[in-house]
């Protein structure tokens, strides 16, 4: 397989020779020869494009290797660096601590994340115990606009690693959106988490941490960082989409290309965060090397449940004013009007105030 740089060089030489001959030749078929040469070059590029490569074993001038799903897994790398091995297929979910669902998550879930959506606490007494109960349980920090990842916040996180492990967590997820921390600042923290025997997961908004001036440098490091076990781009924006959002994947917002993402194998493993399991098939179409997913939020309760998801300014508001508060059946805040939020475990309207 010939890589792009070499193909361009060979093609340029051939066309140069042709045009030198074209200027001096009186051959009546020279225009036909030129068209044939152009079509041949077009076919050659199309058939050997990087998009269609199965491997890069014959290409020494590039790192492009968009192979299908890695199998079999390397027991030392794809299983992660934590004391608990990651499953071959990660089926994870976020447990929002302000809107709790079942601790076991959707059926067959094997990785659960206690999703605090808060900055790192100064006191270890303020760290919650795991709110998930599956094979592997992580805790997440970050994820909202007022959480700023800088050297100070990363130092605070390092100071809480022992407490996090003592509480029974198997790893830490960093939801990175805004900040000014450098590559080395993050790497020092990743190494400290790994040294404690914990799994390291990094979640990013779409395909780069949008609030960092150095997001390109961060992404270039993270896609090939042996201290990161899981890299999870979020494929949504509002949380109420019906399909994956590939913004930042194939437009000017992106700091990382499709090709680079397809190079990811182990450490980190590529496991996007999506809104429901049905969207994973689309992930595999674009990213055949993905080895799992995380569901943004637990799915709504079953229809025969006495509870429902309902909008409100508080849980009590959603509970007491159920007649005028709309249901948010998808379990997402974006379904609610104004400044209301979506709350779960709200009794249905046949069992509360004035009904």
Residue-wise pLDDT tens digits, 324-338: 999 887 777 888 998
Q: Is residue 147 within 8 Å of 108, Cβ to Cβ?
A: no
Beta bridge partners of 342: 311
- Name the residue with higher pLDDT: 334 or 295: 295
Q: What is the mean pLDDT of residues 23-36?
A: 67
Q: Is residue 324 within 8 Å of 141, Cβ to Cβ?
A: no
* Pairwise CA distance, residues 240 & 136, whole Å: 27
Cα–Cα distance list, 235 to 23, 175, 261, 271, 279 (Å): 54, 14, 14, 11, 10
| Residue 322 pLDDT level (bands cut at 50, 70, 90) | confident
| Residue 71 pLDDT level (bands cut at 50, 70, 90) | very low
| Residue 59 pLDDT level (bands cut at 50, 70, 90) | very low
Per-residue pLDDT for 346 more than 50? yes
242 conformational bin, left if phi > 0, alpha if psi -120 to 50, beta if neither: alpha
Q: Is residue 38 within 8 Å of 233, Cβ to Cβ?
A: no
* Pairwise CA distance, residues 143 & 20, whole Å: 60
| Residue 70 pLDDT level (bands cut at 50, 70, 90) | very low
Q: Give 316's contacts (C-beta < 8 A, 6+ positions apart).
A: none
Beta bridge partners of 111: 92, 136
Per-residue pLDDT for 11 more than 80? no
Provide the token pair at 179: 């900040």
Q: Give 19's contacts (C-beta < 8 A, 6+ positions apart).
A: none
Count, residues in the chain: 355
Confidence (pLDDT) at 280? 96
Q: What is the mean pLDDT of residues 110-134?
A: 84
Mean pLDDT of the chain: 80
Closest CA to 18 of 5, 35, 2: 35
| Residue 283 pLDDT level (bands cut at 50, 70, 90) | very high
pLDDT in tens, 149-206: 999 999 999 999 999 999 999 999 999 989 999 999 999 999 999 999 999 999 998 8
Per-residue pLDDT for 250 more than 70? no
Pick the range with the lowest mean pLDDT from 32-36, 54-58, 223-227, 287-291.
Answer: 54-58
* Pairwise CA distance, residues 114 & 108, whole Å: 17
* Pairwise CA distance, residues 103 & 253, whole Å: 36
Beta bridge partners of 73: none
Q: Is residue 344 within 8 Å of 331, Cβ to Cβ?
A: yes
Per-residue pLDDT for 36 more than 60? yes
* Pairwise CA distance, residues 113 & 133, whole Å: 10
Q: What is the mean pLDDT of residues 9-21?
A: 66
Per-residue pLDDT for 117 more than 70? no
- Name the residue with higher pLDDT: 250 or 190: 190
Q: Which helix (H) or strand (E) holds 341?
A: strand 341-347
Q: Is residue 217 within 8 Å of 256, Cβ to Cβ?
A: no
- 51-60: list long-range contacts, CB under 8 Å, 24+ apart: 53/1, 55/1, 56/1, 56/3, 57/1, 58/1, 58/2, 59/1, 59/2, 59/3, 60/3
Q: What is the mean pLDDT of residues 66-84?
A: 62
pLDDT in tens, 215-248: 889 998 999 899 999 999 999 887 878 899 887 6
* Pairwise CA distance, residues 220 & 238, whole Å: 26
Confidence (pLDDT) at 237? 83
Describe the crossing of helices 30-47 and 4-24 by its angle, rounded to 10 degrees.
Answer: 180
């Amino acid at each position: 397989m010939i890589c792009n740089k070499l193909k361009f060089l060979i093609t340029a030489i051939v066309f140069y020779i042709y045009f030198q001959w074209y200027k001096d030749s009186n051959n009546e078929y020279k225009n036909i020869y030129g068209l044939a040469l152009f079509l041949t070059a077009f076919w050659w590029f199309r058939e050997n494009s990087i998009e269609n490569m199965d491997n890069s074993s014959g290409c020494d001038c590039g790192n492009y290797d968009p192979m299908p799903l890695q199998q079999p897994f390397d027991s030392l790398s794809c299983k992660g660096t934590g004391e608990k091995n990651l499953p071959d297929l990660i089926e994870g979910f976020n447990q929002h601590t302000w809107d709790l669902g079942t601790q076991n998550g959707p059926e067959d879930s094997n990785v659960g994340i206690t999703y605090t959506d808060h900055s790192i606490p100064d006191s270890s007494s303020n760290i919650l115990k795991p709110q998930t109960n599956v094979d592997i349980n992580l805790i997440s920090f970050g994820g909202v606009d007022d959480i700023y990842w800088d050297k100070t916040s990363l130092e605070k996180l390092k100071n809480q690693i022992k407490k996090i492990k003592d509480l029974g967590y198997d790893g830490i997820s960093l939801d990175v959106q805004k900040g000014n921390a450098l590559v080395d600042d993050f790497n020092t923290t990743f190494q400290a988490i790994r040294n404690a025997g914990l799994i390291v997961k990094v979640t990013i908004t779409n395909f780069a941490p949008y609030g960092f001036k150095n997001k390109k440098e961060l992404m270039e490091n993270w896609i090939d960082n042996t201290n990161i076990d899981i890299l999870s781009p979020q494929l949504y924006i509002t949380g109420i989409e019906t399909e994956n959002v590939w913004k930042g994947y194939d437009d000017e917002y992106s700091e990382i290309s499709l090709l680079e993402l397809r190079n990811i194998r182990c450490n980190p493993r590529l496991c996007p965060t999506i809104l429901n399991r049905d969207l994973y098939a689309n992930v595999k179409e674009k990213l055949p090397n993905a080895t799992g997913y995380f569901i943004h939020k637990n799915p709504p309760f079953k229809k025969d449940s006495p509870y429902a998801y309902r909008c409100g300014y508080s849980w009590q508001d959603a509970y007491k004013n159920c007649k005028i508060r709309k249901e948010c059946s998808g379990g997402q805040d974006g379904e609610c009007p104004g400044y209301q939020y979506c709350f779960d475990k709200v009794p249905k309207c046949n069992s509360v105030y004035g009904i």
